[in-house]
Amino acid sequence: MKKVQILGTGCAKCQKLTENTQEAAKGLGIDIELVKVTDMVEIMKFGVMSTPGLVVDGKVVASGKLLKPAEITAFLK
């Protein structure tokens, strides 16, 4: 099971990224462990300065932009 973290303070883009990530996982038919990281200190530990951020298995794959489900699918495969 892949561990996916959404980095963000809970803004609308962060919430939409969470929805898109769940949609991408559902489309692939896989289960993911989805964790929301809202603490700015924790977010900065990833080196992310602009949110939302997407982390898959400990690796930052995107930051500062809202990815579409199709884009997220590539990171979950």
Q: Which two tokens stand for residue 26?
A: 């559902």
Question: CATH assignment of 2-76, given 3.40.50.300, 3.20.20.150, 3.90.960.10, 3.40.30.10?
Answer: 3.40.30.10
Average pLDDT over residues 59-72: 97
Q: What is residue 23's predicted lDDT score, i.e. its pLDDT?
A: 98
21-55 tens-digit pLDDT? 999 999 999 999 999 999 999 999 999 999 999 99
Instruction: Look over the chain and give the mean of its residue pLDDT values, rounded to a whole number.
Output: 96
**Residues classed as catalytic:** 11, 14
* pTM, rounded to two decimals: 0.95
CA atoms within 13 A on the CB side of 26: 7
> What residues does each domain of the chain span?
2-76
